[in-house]
Amino acid sequence: MPHKLMRIERAGAQQTATRRPIMLAIAGDSAAGKTILTKGIVQALGPERITSFCVDDYHRYDREERKNLPFTALHPDCNYVEVLEQHLQLLSAGRPILKPVYDHNTGQLVRPELVEPRDFVIAEGLLPLHTKLARACFDISVYLNPPEQIRRQWKINRDTAKRGYAETQVLAELARREAESEEFIRPQRSHADIVVRFAPAPGRDDPPGTPLSAELLLRSTIRHPNLNKVLGEGPHGAIHLRLGRDEDSRPVDSLHIHGYGPREESQVVENAIWSQLGVGVGDPPQTLGVLDSGERSEPLAITQLLLLYHLLDSMS
312 is a contact residue toward its own copies (CB under 8 A): no
* Residue from 46, 48, 68, 114 in contact with its own copies (CB under 8 A): 114
* Residue from 69, 110, 243, 268 in contact with its own copies (CB under 8 A): 110
20 is a contact residue toward its own copies (CB under 8 A): yes
Nearer to its own copies, 171 or 222 (CB): 222
* Residue from 17, 48, 111, 209 in contact with its own copies (CB under 8 A): 111
CA angle 315, 197, 163 (to 5 degrees): 95
* Residue from 28, 33, 76, 100 in contact with its own copies (CB under 8 A): 100
Residue 294: CB atoms within 10 Å: 6
What is the rounded distance in angstroms from the CA atom of residue 134 to the CA atom of residue 123? 10
Give the binding range for its own copies (CB under 8 A) out of 45-53, 93-101, 192-200, 227-235.
93-101
CB of 26 to its own copies, least distance (A): 18
35 is a contact residue toward its own copies (CB under 8 A): no
CB 147 within 8 A of CB 196: no
CB of 131 to its own copies, least distance (A): 8
86 is a contact residue toward its own copies (CB under 8 A): yes
Give the binding range for its own copies (CB under 8 A) out of 27-35, 81-89, 237-245, 264-272.
81-89
Q: Could you give the string, one character per residue 125-164, with x where binding to its own copies holds by CB under 8 A and - elsewhere? A: -------xx-xxx-x-------------------------
* Residue from 39, 63, 66, 95 in contact with its own copies (CB under 8 A): 95
Q: Where does this chain bind its own copies (CB under 8 A)?
A: 1, 4-5, 7-8, 10-12, 14-15, 20, 60, 62, 80, 82-83, 86, 89-90, 92, 95-98, 100, 108-112, 114, 132-133, 135-137, 139
